[in-house]
Copies of this chain bind each other. A is one copy, B any other.
Amino acid sequence: MATIYDVAERAGVSLATVSRVMNKNTNVGEKTKQKVLAAMAELDYRPNTFAQSLASNSSNSIGVLVSQLDGPYYGPMMAEIESALRATNKHVIIAVGHSVAEQEIDSVEFLLGRGCDALILDVEAVSDEYLIELSQGATPIVLINRYISDISDRCIYLDNELGGYLATRHVLELGHRDIAYVSGPKRKHDAVERLEGHKKALAEFDVPYKASLCVEGDYKEDGGVVAMEQLLDSAQRFTAVVCANDQMVSGAISVCLERGLKVPGDLSFVGYDNIPFARYISPKLTTVNNPIHEMGKMAALWLLKNIYKNDQLEVTNVFVPELVVRGSARRPGNK
């Protein structure tokens, strides 16, 4: 592999000049620049990234820590991050935290140890304090899906409470009054925020919140199954179910269909996230759109702007969810 020395020799210049040609084009004469470029091409020279990183103390790599890689949620986000970053020749190192504090911290250390220039974090278990302290370290971080007021400018997040509100308001407006709610795990921030929105909507319509109609799921399909069985077996009256994400809705609906209940004839459903499958399951899901891929892209842009000093980039921190009305919810008693 050709080194910068070879290029310098071939071009008849010093290695510093070659380096200058590669980096900032400042102060290098046009003629020599062409000579150097020609020499690089002839030798098929590629700078050694290791040496570059060592000397410049920057790796052009971004660590991305997500909670999980499978599931319909993080793929689109990762895809956006990758493409935005790659376009500027940065690369992405991934790690998974599994929503467990210890593993999240471990992953952060891992990424830091790898010399990432910055971190994009989607973490749930770790404390606000930890993140605040981390943000004061040498390596910049940006948070996806989480809002911490002390470092709000580094947070890219969705207004989850509004989303929860919109979902429940929709069924209220359709006329439902007995509404069950399948929450995400209460230890997750977005789960409690969505639930808050739900309560807010109920209050607005003067419908009392009943704890017995709210069951905690795990954000997975199985969680929806279990929650729905529990709800149905409790023999409580309800005509609509709002779920904190689409995966749980699909699990819940599958239980209903198995028991011969019609959806949305007997029971209306509203989901959350608008995952790709939401429009292909039957009935098509009425849900709240979660622009997770845009948030991923925005996180990448934030970095480009703040770390690599690429200005003229507009960054939005907070995203607003929107209701997507499809076929899984309708008026009560309308069979």
In chain A, positions 207-250 with a C-beta closer than 8 Å to chain B are 221, 250
C-alpha spacing A253/B61, complex, angstroms: 43
The reply on A118 being an interface residue by CB < 8 A is: no
A71 and B75 form a contact (CB under 8 A): yes
A113 and B46 form a contact (CB under 8 A): yes
Choice from B79, B86, B279, B281 contacting A110 with Cβ under 8 Å:
B86
A49 and B113 form a contact (CB under 8 A): yes
Given A76-B70, A282-B257; A94-B96 close (CB under 8 Å): no
B95 and A114 form a contact (CB under 8 A): no
The reply on A74 being an interface residue by CB < 8 A is: yes
Question: What chain B residues lie within 8 Å of A72 (beta carbons)?
Answer: 72, 75, 277
Question: Which listed segment binds B: A50-58, A299-307, A314-322?
Answer: A50-58
Given A94-B94, A281-B282; A49-B115 close (CB under 8 Å): yes
The reply on A193 being an interface residue by CB < 8 A is: no
The reply on A167 being an interface residue by CB < 8 A is: no
Question: What chain B residues lie within 8 Å of A75 (beta carbons)?
Answer: 68-72, 74-75
In chain A, positions 274-311 with a C-beta closer than 8 Å to chain B are 276-277, 279-282, 284, 293
Looking at A48, A83, A93, A280, the one whose CB has the most chain B CB atoms below 10 A away is A280
Question: What chain B residues lie within 8 Å of A282 (beta carbons)?
Answer: 253-254, 257, 281-282
C-alpha spacing A69/B282, complex, angstroms: 25
The reply on A59 being an interface residue by CB < 8 A is: yes
C-alpha spacing A284/B250, complex, angstroms: 11
The reply on A251 being an interface residue by CB < 8 A is: yes
Given A46-B113, A75-B70, A83-B96; A251-B276 close (CB under 8 Å): no
Choice from B82, B95, B280 contacting A69 with Cβ under 8 Å:
B82
Choice from B70, B253, B254, B284 contacting A276 with Cβ under 8 Å:
B70
Given A49-B113, A69-B78, A74-B75; A92-B94 close (CB under 8 Å): yes
The reply on A189 being an interface residue by CB < 8 A is: no
Choice from B68, B94, B250, B276 contacting A281 with Cβ under 8 Å:
B250
A114 and B49 form a contact (CB under 8 A): yes
Interface string of A253-285 (1 = CB under 8 A from B): 110010000000000000000001101111010
